[in-house]
A and B are shown apart, each in its own frame.
Chain A
C-alpha cells in the first residue's frame, strides 16, 4: 500500500511515511474506517524501526487522522478526509514557498513567476481534457 521510503532523503523517515498517509487520505485512496497494517506489519513491510512505525501512528492519531481501537488495530478516522484536505493546502504552501525562494534567487520577477505557475495549471487542465 505505502510506497517505499527513501532513507537517503534529508526528510526523516517518519515524516515521509506520515506525508504518504496524509496524501492518500486527502486523495481518497484511504477511506474512513479502513484498517491499516499493524505497527509490526508496517515495520516489516517498509523495513523500518518499529519505534518509528509506532511513532507515525501515534502522531497521526494525535492529529485525529487515525484511531486505534484497542486490541483491534489502527483505522482511518471518521473525519480524516476533511482533516487531510485542509492539510493539503498547508503541504502545498510549503512546497510553493520553496519554489518562491528559488524564483527570487534566480532573479525572476513576481509577475513572471505567477504567469509561469498559471501557465502550468492551464496546461494541466487542457491535458486532462485531452484524455480519452
Chain B
C-alpha cells in the first residue's frame, strides 16, 4: 500500500530550472490518513513539488515515492491511484461536463460515476453544460469531481482553492472532507489561504525558497512556535536567545518568537522585576515569523525539521 504509513515520501528531492533551485533537498513525509497542507509564499516550490510527484517534472536529484511506488519508475501505476486538481487546470473546453466525465472514466479501469455526479449534483453543475461556460469555481469543482472518480488513495490539490469565491471554496472543502471518510485516504493541499488550511489540515509542511523548513502535525507546530513577551525594568532588558524571530524591543518590553518552545524557557528568562509570558500565535503569524526567520538566516544553515 504505502511506505511505512506514509502516502508520500521524498528523499533530498531537488529540482533545478537552469540556475534557479526550485526544490532544494526536500525530504518530506506525508502520513496516510492525513490532510497535509503544504504552505509557503509564492515561488516557494509548492507546485514544482506536486508536479514532481506526478512525474510531470523530472527531479534533478533525489527521489520520491507515492503510495510506496517510485514516482519516476512507476509513474503509470502512481497515476492510477492519485487524483490531481490544479488551479486553472486546462480542461477540454468544447466538452460537456458529461463528456469530460465519460472521457475520464475511460482512462481508469475502476470508475465510480456516483462519486463524480454526487459532487456535480450537489453544487448544481449540469451534465449538459459546456466546460467553457463554467465559472472559475465551477471548473475547479468539475475538475475535482472527475479527479475522484477512480477513488484515488491520494488526492493532490494544487492551489485548487486559490482565487475561488467563498461558496466554491466551501464546496471544495466539503468534497475533500467527504473523500476523507473512506479509510486510508490522504489529501495534500497546497495553497496560501491559511484559514482554510487550518480548518481542514492536521499536518503541515512549510516551504520557503525551495526548502522544507517545517513539517509536523499542525498541533505540534502551534505548541512549539510561541511569541515570548517580557516586561522588564528599563535598565535590565533580557538578551534575545539564539534563533529568536521577529525580535522587538521597547523601553520596558521585549518580544520575540521561538520555534522550539518549552515551559522551562519561561523560567530561564525570569528575573528580578520581570514578567514573562508565552503567547499563542495564529497559523498566519507563525508562518510569517518562520518565513522571515528563514529569509534572515545566513544562507547555507538548515534547521532540521522536528
Binding site for B on A (CB under 8 A): 5, 7-13, 40, 43-44, 47-52, 101, 104-105
Chain A residues positioned under 8 Å from B281 (CB to CB): 10
Q: What's the Cα separation between A93 and B208 when bound, in Å?
A: 41
Residue pair A50, B180 in contact (C-beta under 8 Å): yes
Q: What's the Cα separation between A104 and B284 when bound, in Å?
A: 29
Residue pair B177, A11 in contact (C-beta under 8 Å): no
Q: What's the Cα separation between A84 and B154 when bound, in Å?
A: 40
Name which residue of chain A comes closest to B281, CB basis: A10
Which 8 A-B pairs rank lowest in CB-CB distance, beginning with the nearest?
Answer: A10-B280, A7-B198, A7-B199, A7-B195, A47-B173, A49-B202, A43-B177, A49-B200
Residue pair A49, B180 in contact (C-beta under 8 Å): yes
Judge if B295 is at the interface, Cβ distance under 8 Å: no
Binding site for A on B (CB under 8 A): 33-35, 170, 173-174, 177-178, 180-181, 194-196, 198-202, 219, 222, 231, 275, 277, 279-284
Known A-B contacts A47-B177, A49-B180, A50-B180; A11 and B198 likewise in contact (beta carbons under 8 Å)? no
Residue pair A50, B198 in contact (C-beta under 8 Å): no
Chain B residues positioned under 8 Å from A13 (CB to CB): 198-199
Chain A residues positioned under 8 Å from B275 (CB to CB): 104-105
Cβ of B157 to closest chain A Cβ, rounded Å: 14
Q: Which of A8, A49, A104 has the most CB of B within 10 A?
A: A49
Contact of B177 among A12, A44, A101, A104 (CB under 8 A): A44
Tell me what chain B mostly uses at the interface: helix, strand, loop, or mixed.
helix
Residue pair A49, B231 in contact (C-beta under 8 Å): no
Chain A residues positioned under 8 Å from B174 (CB to CB): 44, 47
Q: Which of B194, B195, B202, B219 has the most CB of A within 10 A?
A: B202
Residue pair B282, A8 in contact (C-beta under 8 Å): yes
Residue pair A49, B177 in contact (C-beta under 8 Å): yes
Q: What's the Cα separation between A9 and B35 when bound, in Å?
A: 20
Cβ of B222 to closest chain A Cβ, rounded Å: 6
Residue pair B202, A52 in contact (C-beta under 8 Å): yes
Residue pair B33, A51 in contact (C-beta under 8 Å): yes
Residue pair B178, A48 in contact (C-beta under 8 Å): no
Contact of A51 among B194, B199, B202, B231 (CB under 8 A): B202
Residue pair B282, A50 in contact (C-beta under 8 Å): no
Q: What's the Cα separation between A82 and B275 when bound, in Å?
A: 37
Q: What's the Cα separation between A47 and B168 when bound, in Å?
A: 13
7 pairs of residues in contact across A and B, judged by CB atoms under 8 Å: A7-B196, A10-B279, A10-B280, A11-B280, A49-B199, A51-B34, A104-B275
Q: What's the Cα separation between A10 and B223 when bound, in Å?
A: 10
Q: What's the Cα separation between A51 and B38 when bound, in Å?
A: 18
Q: What's the Cα separation between A11 and B223 when bound, in Å?
A: 11
Residue pair A48, B282 in contact (C-beta under 8 Å): no
Chain B residues positioned under 8 Å from A49 (CB to CB): 35, 177, 180, 199-202
Q: What's the Cα separation between A40 and B202 when bound, in Å?
A: 16
Q: What's the Cα separation between A11 and B181 when bound, in Å?
A: 25
Chain A residues positioned under 8 Å from B170 (CB to CB): 47
Cβ of B46 to closest chain A Cβ, rounded Å: 20
Q: What's the Cα separation between A40 and B178 when bound, in Å?
A: 8
Residue pair B202, A10 in contact (C-beta under 8 Å): no
Cβ of A5 to closest chain B Cβ, rounded Å: 8
Cβ of A4 to closest chain B Cβ, rounded Å: 10
Contact of B178 among A7, A9, A44 (CB under 8 A): A44
Residue pair B200, A47 in contact (C-beta under 8 Å): yes
Residue pair A40, B222 in contact (C-beta under 8 Å): no
Q: What's the Cα separation between A13 and B195 when bound, in Å?
A: 11
Q: What's the Cα separation between A11 and B283 when bound, in Å?
A: 10
Q: What's the Cα separation between A72 and B279 when bound, in Å?
A: 41
Residue pair A12, B200 in contact (C-beta under 8 Å): no
Chain A residues positioned under 8 Å from B200 (CB to CB): 47-49
Q: Which of A10, A44, A105 has the most CB of B within 10 A?
A: A10
Name which residue of chain B comes closest to A11, CB basis: B280
